Structure 1
Amino acid sequence: MDSNYLDRVTARRALIAEHTSAVHGAIPSGHAPVAELYSYLLGTYLPARYPTMFELITSTDTATATTTTVFRNKVTHVDSPLHPPPRDPLEMLRLLGETVEDDMFLLLRDGDEHRAVAFVCCHPSGFAPAAKLGRRLAEIHAPVPAYEKIGPSMERYFRRLEWAIQTHSQLYAPNGNHVLDEDVVEEEASIDVQEARFRVEQQTLTRLPETGAILFSFKTLLYPLADIKAEGLGPQLANAIEGLKAGNAPGMWVYKGGVRWGRAMCKYLRA
């Protein structure tokens, strides 16, 4: 949790309210994993890991002898039902999305591959999260150049560090950050480097013990390029940008948008 937690989750609540089905969803096979994740995060992990921010409140109705437990967010002052939990998996996903800063995809094994069965994703970069629901990993990553070379290792390890450059300061970016086959490529477009951001994801993989689903969660951070330069890392980042042209997936230069902003960004970072 960061010092800007309240601002981040408040913004996420607004995104979920505005975009709704575009940023969270589940197919039937994902309902059980969603329930398991909801129970674990709100009922066990968050109150134990961050007791000054979250707590569990249990009460008993003496008339009916019914006991209920709510998860209380002491930062946002929002209570979420825990026992009994919400009946609707979409409601669980909404509450999770408004409580934690990470975006989350749940995947279940389907034969030798894994399929996305549920998600809450407020900060996509160059893709529509809802379009990935129900798809296998190979289908999800179909636009990624040379995915056939890295796909098998992703199936085995589910871990990959992602970074990118974007020409704006928005976390919600379902399109524009990547160049797809149908896009018109405007090479070396006019770029405002002051608005550009270094975008990085902190990724975590967790297997849920009951359903066996894999939780792929990631928190997205944006850094102004001026901050990168101030730390003396400008030349290193410029080298990494130009490195998109090389390696075993040279198509990344176009896919990541380097063809549009690469020269301007590298010039700025090395100046």
Structure 2
Amino acid sequence: MALGLTSVPEPSWIELDAHYPAHLAERAKLLAHRRTEVLAAISGSEAMQAELLETLADHLCRHHPAWFSRRGSALDNHLLNETMVLDEDPLGCTGRLVQEDFCLLREEEPNRLVLIAAILCFPSRWRLSSKMGSPLGAIHTPVPMYRNKLERPVDRFLGALKAGRIAQRLNWSIMDDATLFQPTGHGVNDFECAVTAENAGETLVMRVERQTFRRLPRTGGIAFGIRVHVTALASIVAVPGEAARLLAAVRALPPEMERYKSMLPFRDALFTYLGRIA
């Protein structure tokens, strides 16, 4: 359990890859049919929402000019052949522009950040509705060791984050479900599991969150970005040496973290599978 922060140059803030069309189609569907589950905001967050969208639109047009261009309040998305009006529904527009989700955090008092708005189409087993308006410490209460090892470093880092700087960290889990929209599932270990040492490579996935942090200069809020990558385990262990590294990392997980990540039903099959390859 460590922050593991690295700096990110401005051009690398947003990740666009070959999954962009499929991911954006899924995000549009979620916003159309499950909007209250993936988008939430409290009163007073409007200026921060607008600044996030403006910052994002400027970034895309500046660093990906072949794919995004601006005409006044209209943004042309040449990847999807769509035009978006930016002065309407800022969180919804943000969710339909990039693969990243965003949580907006406001400093209520020194080193106390509160979640005030979010577009969260691809949650990693948590519900937006249960966290809105809560400080970071309370949001992470279910995470083992967060309070003792990460809460103070996180609060100090975000409190000192300067506008113009972008930082990132990575968070990973092994799951038996490749679904991007997963609002539930943490700490559930009593489910029937069809994973075996023989099929683990095809049925298990590594889900990685690339988390980014930047301060919005006008409103002072923190834009916390979450970009989810889901990769079949077989693809990862095909890289020489990765099976042994992953096996060591999984073995090092404390029991409470294994339970939190819902790994117990397939833990033994995973160990056997990785051990054979390693």
Q: What TM-score, normalized to structure 1?
A: 0.85
Instruction: Output one character per residue of 1:151-188: Cα deviation in whole Å (capped at 9) or x when no partner.
Output: 10111225642100110111111112x20xxx5x3389
Structure 1 residue 34 displacement after superposition: 0.2
Q: Which residue of 1 aligns with 2:130?
A: 131
Q: Which residue of 2 aligns with 1:251?
A: 256
User: Partners of 1:35 and 1:187 in 2: how far apart?
Assistant: 42
SS at match of 2:122: coil
SS at match of 2:115: strand
Q: Which residue of 1 aligns with 2:51?
A: 36
User: Partners of 1:153 and 1:29 in 2: how far apart?
Assistant: 27
- Equivalent position to 2:71, from 41, 46, 57: 57
**Greater C-alpha radius of gyration:** 1
Structure 1 residue 145 displacement after superposition: 1.3
Conserved? CA contact 2:214–2:222, under 8 Å: yes
Structure 1 gap ranges (5+):
59-68
User: Partners of 1:262 and 1:29 in 2: how far apart?
Assistant: 45
SS at match of 2:252: helix
User: Partners of 2:247 and 2:44 in 1: how far apart?
Assistant: 44
Number of matched pairs: 245
**Matching of residue 92 in structure 1 with residue 106 in structure 2:** no
Q: How does 1:224-239 map to 2 (within 5 A)?
A: 224-232=232-240, 233-239=242-248
Q: Which residue of 2 aligns with 1:166?
A: 175
User: Partners of 2:61 and 2:130 in 1: how far apart?
Assistant: 33
User: Partners of 2:262 and 2:94 in 1: how far apart?
Assistant: 32
Q: How does 1:193-208 map to 2 (within 5 A)?
A: 193=200, 194-208=202-216
AA at the equivalent of 1:239: A
Structure 1 residue 3 displacement after superposition: 2.3
Identity of aligned residues (%): 30
SS at match of 1:203: strand
Conserved? CA contact 2:174–2:207, under 8 Å: yes
Q: Which residue of 2 aligns with 1:81?
A: 85
User: Partners of 1:188 and 1:22 in 2: how far apart?
Assistant: 27
Instruction: Output one character per residue of 1:77-97: Cα deviation in whole Å (capped at 9) or x when no partner.
Output: 222223xx12xxxx2111110
> Alpha carbon RMSD of aligned pairs, Å?
1.7
User: Partners of 1:155 and 1:71 in 2: how far apart?
Assistant: 35
Structure 1 residue 218 displacement after superposition: 1.5
Q: How does 1:175-214 map to 2 (within 5 A)?
A: 175-176=184-185, 178-179=186-187, 183=188, 185-186=189-190, 189-191=193-195, 193=200, 194-214=202-222
SS at match of 1:117: strand
Conserved? CA contact 1:34–1:118, under 8 Å: yes
Change (3 A) 1:40 1:160: closer
Q: Which residue of 2 aligns with 1:70?
A: 74
Structure 2 gap ranges (5+):
1-15, 159-167
User: Partners of 1:133 and 1:148 in 2: how far apart?
Assistant: 19
Q: What TM-score, normalized to structure 2?
A: 0.83
Q: Which residue of 1 aligns with 2:154?
A: 154
